[in-house]
Structures are given as structure tokens and as C-alpha cells.
Structure 1
Amino acid sequence: MSVPSPIIVLVGGGHAAGKHTANKLLVEGLNGRGITDSHPVHSINMDDYVKKSDGDSCKNKPSRFDFAKLKTDIFELPSNSIVIVIGLYALYDKDLRSVAQIKVFIDSDPDTRLIRWIKRDIVNEDPNSDPSLSTTSNLETVLNLYINGARTEMTDYIFPTKEFADVILPRGVEHQSVNLLIDGIQPLLNIKPTHGITRNILRPKTFRKEKFDNEKGKFYELN
């Protein structure tokens, strides 16, 4: 007899692709449909699982994350939970992918992501940004991070995880695509989909791989 486990949604994508926005809209949508009354949502940011390190050797590599602790924490949550894991490497770990019911990759072109990054960290759209830093110094920092690390990290490690996604959002996060994702979550909780259009949106738990590969093109991109 299998032990009940949380519904796990993995949301990956590049730097400033919109992962936090997707999480926010998912939580709001689940709340709005009353799903969280019986299925609490737990959002997990992978940034909270960066290992303490004395050097920079793992700075732009997946090995800087403590996947073992992440998985342990997930399965310590109540079995009726909906767990949303967001991060650059949300789709990286094989074991985590194998237990996740929904795997999402937010795809966005490099220019768009860089602009979003600049707006977030420089134009003070982020309430946590440091107002004492000058715009010039901030811009230099962001560009250095992008050119000397993030760009290569995206190519070498993050972008390849796209192939593991059940759903790809090619234009970033949109309300319609988030609503469709929630429609895909509801049957996993034995709740009838609100819009009744989820048949080919997400891969069922028992879907044979070869059949899924044949059908991918029909529903791979939601927006």
C-alpha cells in the first residue's frame, strides 16, 4: 500500500524568467478556488537551500544546492499539501522529478530576462533592493553577474532541464496559463477541473513515456 504524499509542482527556468510571479499567481489561484481550505500550499524557494561554501567553485553550478535536504523537507510536509518548488534547478534533480506530478519550465529569451533582472534589482521594483546603491553600480553588478556567470550557467545547466518539463510557458507567465495549470492540479486532488479542459494539458501519473512523447506536441506549450 502506497503512502500518501504531497502534490509536488516544480517550476524551473532561467534567471528572472518569472518563477516567483508564477508561484504568486498559482497560490492566489488555488486560494481563489477554495482548494487551499483542505489542501494547504507550501511554496519552497530553492535559494533557501544554497550550501554554505568558502569558495566560488560551485557558484554557478547546481552542486551549490542541497537537494537532499530539499527532498527531506518536502516529504516532512503533510500528505494533503500542495508543494510548489521554484528555482533555477527545480527540474534538475532526477529523484525530485520522479516524485513530482507537474513539472513546468518558464521559457523566456535572454534579452527579456536580462531586462527583467535590471528592473527588479535596479529600478527598485523589488522592495528588498538596497536604495543606498547607485544605479550605475547596480547596473555594473547585474551585467557582470550575467556576462561572467549567469549566461553560461543558463546554457550549460538550466536550459537543458527544459526537456524534462511536462509544460513549457514559452512567453513567460500569463494568467491564462496559470489557470490551466491549476486545472491540471485539481484532478490530482480528485476535484473536477473548473474549466473542464485539462485532458491533454498535463501528463497523467501512469502515462506511458512513449505515448507521452508522441502526444507532447499537442499540449507541450500552454501559452
Structure 2
Amino acid sequence: MLTIGIAGGTGSGKTTVAKAILEQLGPDHVTLISQDAYYHDHPELPFSRREQLNYDHPDSFDNDLLRNHLRDLQNGRSVEMPIYDFKKHGRSNHTIHVAVRPVVILEGIHVLVDAELRKLLDIKVFVDTDPDVRVLRRIRRDIEDRGRTIESVYEQYLTTVKPMHDAFIEPSKRFADLIIPEGGENEIAIALLTTRVSQFLTEFSRTRGLES
């Protein structure tokens, strides 16, 4: 199995890059996992308190569960991925069944921050996009998809998003094997990465053929 980690700041285009690879190679070969699904659940806190949590700090993720799920997939065992509801700041009662595929893509802002998580990655990618572009994408996503107000997005960006990016996400770029400028708009970089994954799938299929 080939495990690819795609990191980068909020709105950098991580998901676009991951989905581009998935679309080109097909869901029969590639499984996509988002680190966003693994936010810690805090049912013990009232909604007003959950709203105030720092969701941009590495500790906001349940990386123990995420690492366990990656290991399970790498060892041929399917997993039940959590579903995180950003409107209520909590996990859903439902999960998503993730089947075993030859390629696993994990995308998220702190994918390259956790040292133990990095050990599980065969290819480490950092999507590097201009901060102005990222913040505009963040504003649009949070308002349209997550029901936030422009005031709350602005406050969150200044108090947690930007400080956490500067402290943790940007420094994690040094761990990347490949840096993709401009995210999903960089068709050449995506094509190069997809070609590498295609080569792995060809080798994987040949090996399976020899074993059968």
C-alpha cells in the first residue's frame, strides 16, 4: 500500500489536489481520508464553549485514532471514519466505512506536524498557496458551508488560524518530499504526482498477478 500525506494551510487547495488524484485514478484504487474528520469530540461541553475552542492547534485532532485507522488500512483492515459536524462542533453519530485500497491519501492542515503520523506516510506533500488567496477561500467556505458570519471568520482568523499557521503549519513544510505551489491550479505538479502513483499501481498489480 502507498500512503500519501497532503498538508498545507487552510484554503491552500489540499482537498482539490487530493480529489484530482482520486478522480484521475479512480475510487477503486484510491481512498481519501480527511484529517478534519478526526477533530476531538467534546460532548461534555456546551455549544457556546465548543465555539471558543482553538480548532487550528495540532492538539485539536485525535491523532491517536487517526494513526490507528491508517495502520489498520495499511494492514488490510477496513475502518469506520468519524463524521465531524462543523455547524455543531461535534461528531455525528454516524461513520463512513472506508474500504482497503492500494493507495490512501490523507489530507489536512497538520498532517506533517505529528512525527508519528509522518512515519506512516510514504510520500509527504505540502501545498503552498499565497496567504491572501487562502484567507479568501476560508471566508467563502466558512460562510457558505459552515454557516459562519463574516465577523466570526475574521476573529477566528486573527486569533487562531494565522498564529497556528505561522507556529506549526508553515514550519512543517520542511518535512515535505514535494511542495506544490498554488494547489489545485498547478496541473503540472498534480500530473507528476499522479504519474508516480500510477507507477505504483502498475507495480502493485504486477506483484498481485505474480502472487495469484
Aligned to 1:102: 123
Aligned partners of 2:30 and 2:105 also within 8 Å: yes
Letter in 2 for 1:157: F
For 2:169, the equivalent position in structure 1 comes to 158
Residues 9 and 83 of structure 1 are in contact (CA less than 8 Å); yes or no, is this contact kept in structure 2?
yes
Q: Deviations over 1:7-30 (max 9, x none)?
A: 100000001111111111110011
Structure scoring higher RCO (CA < 8 A, sep ≥ 6) equals 2
Query: Where do 1:6-25 residues align within 5 Å?
Result: 6-25=1-20
Q: Which residue of the partner structure matches residue 56 of structure 2?
A: 60
CA-CA distance at 1:94 after TM superposition = 1.4
The percent identity for this pair of structures is: 32
Displacement of 1:129: 4.4
Give the Cα–Cα distance (whole angstroms) in 2 for the partners of residues 113 and 160 of structure 1: 17
TM-score, normalised with respect to structure 1: 0.69
Measure how far apart 1:47 and its partner are.
1.1
The match for 2:35 is 46
Q: Is the 8 A contact 1:29 1:179 kept in 2?
A: no
Amino acid across the alignment from 2:8: G
Alignment root-mean-square deviation, CA: 2.2
* In structure 1, distance between residues paired with 2:172 and 2:142: 26
Q: Which residue of 2 aligns with 1:171?
A: 182
1:112 is aligned to 133
Q: 1:29 to 1:152 in 2, by over 3 A?
A: same
CA contact (8 A) 1:7 1:80 kept: no
Deviation, structure 1 residue 74: 1.4
Tell me the matched-pair count.
171
Equivalent AA in structure 1 for residue 134 of structure 2: R
Q: Which structure's residues are more often strand, by fraction?
A: 2
Distance 1:12 1:88 in 2: 5
Unpaired runs of 5+ residues, structure 2, are 77-99, 205-212
